[in-house]
Each structure stands twice: as C-alpha cells, then as structure tokens.
Structure 1
Amino acid sequence: MNRNQTKQMILASFFIALGIILPYITGNIAILGNRFLPMHVPVLLCGLICGWKYGFLVGFITPLLRAVLVGMPPLFPIAVVMSLELAAYGFFIGLFYKLLPKKFVYLIVSLVLSMLAGRIVWGIAAYLIYPLAGFPFNLEIFIAGALLNAIPGIIFQLIFIPVFLQSLIRTNTIPQFE
C-alpha cells in the first residue's frame, strides 16, 4: 500500500466518523436530520477529496454503521435506503469531479448532478424497499422527502461544500482548479 492509499483510507475513516457524529448537531431528531442532511456533507466531501470509490464506500457504510452503533436511523428500512442514496452521492460526485474539467463551475455542476442522482436512487430504493416494511411511498412522499423538506440542507451543501473545498485548495491540501 502506498502513501496516497493510506492517506485516502485515513480520510475515508475520518469522513465515516464525521457522518456518525454530525447528526448529533440536529439532536438526532429525524425531522431536523431530514431538513439539514448532516450525513450527506461528509460523503460528498469524501467523494470530492478521495474519489468515487471511497465516496461510494463511505456513503454505503456510514448510515448502516450509525444505525448499528447509535440506533438512528432505524436499520430497516431507513438506513438501508439511505446507504444506497449516500453511496450514489459519493460515487457520482467523485466520478463527475474526476471527469469534468477542474474549474470552479464544474465543481458546482458535479455537486448538483450528484444531488439529483442520489435523490433518484433514494426514490427508486424507497419505492422498492419501504413497502417491505409497511412504509407507504408515492410521488408526493418522494417530492416532499427528496426536494421540499431537504431545501435547507441542499442550500447549505451548495454553499458550504464549494467554500470548504476552496479553503482546502488555498492551503494546498488538494490540487487547485485551472
């Protein structure tokens, strides 16, 4: 294992830990978590900084591990569906960021596209898995859960993640944009 792989693994572990800890900011209150999306930020950052493979793994592991360790979110069906959603966020933002030119505008494009892809994955996963647990799921629930209720978290992510990434670039922690 080379130095870069070791660094990526350490960062991925840090992002998992952050994903487990950040929901305490909302007091583990599900409705606040659904609005502010505290587990999404570390996964998106991991995909950007460590790449799509680690972003995918961190996204998949974090909600499941948090459910087992803390009991929130409930393991089935919520954490299972979230693990698929967050895996999609980590995968797609890492992939888009890798493939698109390294310019600030494409960071925003990568972020928006990955948010859309993750919400689509969440909708499909919830449609297939929620009924197995007796949870209702329809278009209204999808729109409310994926868009309307999540507006504060979406706005926060669209502001915080680019600003945070810019600060990492300014400190030469990660390569700068062209």
Structure 2
Amino acid sequence: MPSVNLTRSALLIAAGLILPLLLHTLGAAGSIFLPMHIPVLLAGFCLGPYCGLTVGLLTPALSSLLTGMPPLLPVLPLMLAELGVYGWCGGYLYQRRRWPLWLALPAAMLAGRLASLLVLALCASALGIHLPAWSYAAAGLITGLPGIVIQLILIPLILKRVNI
C-alpha cells in the first residue's frame, strides 16, 4: 500500500470513528443514518479493494474498542462482514472491473448486506441472536433506509467532487 493510500485510509478510518460520535452527540442513531458506512464506501471507490477492505474492517473494530459502538456482541461481527465487503466490493467493481458508479454502489451495498446475513446465518446462536435471519435483515433494512438513501445520494456527489 503506497504511503498516500495509507494516509488516506487513516483519514477515512478517522472519519468513520468521528461521524458516528457526532451523530450520537446530536441524538441521532447510527443504525438509522449509517454514518460509518460512508467513509468505508469512499475508501473502496477512491483507494481500491484492499484499502476498502482494510478500512471496512478496522473502522468498526476500532470504534467498538474505543467507544463501545458497535457493541462487541452481537453487532460487531455482522458489521465487520458488511463493511469489509462494502469496501472490497466497491473498490473491486468500480476500479478493477470498471463498473459504472450507479451500478457498483448498490451492488457493493447489497454484497455487504448479504455478507452480514451469511455471518448471521452461520453464527446466530453464538452471537445470541434468536430471530430468523430474514426478520433481522428486514428490521435492519427498514431501520437503515434513511442511511441507505443518504449513501446513494452522497457517495456519487463526493466522488464527483473529488474527481474520481
């Protein structure tokens, strides 16, 4: 990883730590607005799949250790899968496969959600989750709908602004 990508990854990790704290300070729930997802998606699209994966794994892990958000169990393993795949898939589809942004962004978001569901299906009882995977997924999708809309609007605007 070139040093410029290392620096940019660190800045995006910092943004992924600060944005949720700001929202919680303002009384907004992270599960609704999904503020950590934006820097991770930007890492994948701007820096490529491996930086995206790294930012996607380190951001929720550091946030959990430093702030307790997301909770270590049951949420952190699900977010590690989701955000890791967000970052990797976004970078892979957009930079390596040259998919258009309007297709790569929702595909990365869907892949991340599916990865989270896979972890949930494989580890639900170990994580203390006693709901069917479909109901857990539906609840997360409905709760996070404002954040999903924000991502679909904000990510293209930011990428256009930074000329990526």
Whether TM exceeds 0.5 here: the answer is yes
Matched residues, percent identical? 37
Counterpart in the other structure of 2:94: 97
Counterpart of 1:115 in structure 2: which amino acid?
A: M
> What is the number of residues matched between the two proteins?
163
In the TM superposition, residue 28 of structure 1 has moved relative to its aligned partner by 6.5
> Using a 3 Å threshold, how does the CA distance of structure 1 residues 88 and 101 change in structure 2: closer, same or farther?
closer
Distance 2:77 2:5 in 1: 25
Candidates 140, 144, 148, aligned match of 2:139: 144
Deviations 1:84-113 (A, max 9, x none): 1100000000000023447xxx11111010
Structure having greater relative contact order (Cα 8 Å, sep ≥ 6)? 2
Distance 1:72 1:62 in 2: 11
SS at match of 1:137: coil
Give the aligned CA root-mean-square deviation in angstroms.
Answer: 1.9
Candidates 26, 32, 36, aligned match of 1:35: 32
Give the gaps of 5 or more residues in structure 2.
none
Distance 1:61 1:36 in 2: 20
Q: Which structure is larger by alpha-carbon Rg, 1 or 2?
A: 1
Q: Is the Cα contact below 8 Å between 2:43 and 2:87 reproduced in 1?
A: yes
Candidates 7, 12, 33, aligned match of 1:10: 7
TM-score, normalization by structure 2: 0.92
TM-score, normalization by structure 1: 0.85
1:65 maps to 2:65: no
Counterpart of 1:43 in structure 2: which amino acid?
A: V
Distance 2:144 2:28 in 1: 10
In the TM superposition, residue 83 of structure 1 has moved relative to its aligned partner by 1.0
Give the gaps of 5 or more residues in structure 1.
none
Runs of 4+ in 1 over 6 A off after TM superposition: 28-31
> Using a 3 Å threshold, how does the CA distance of structure 1 residues 133 and 31 change in structure 2: closer, same or farther?
farther
Counterpart of 2:129 in structure 1: which amino acid?
A: F
1:54 maps to 2:66: no
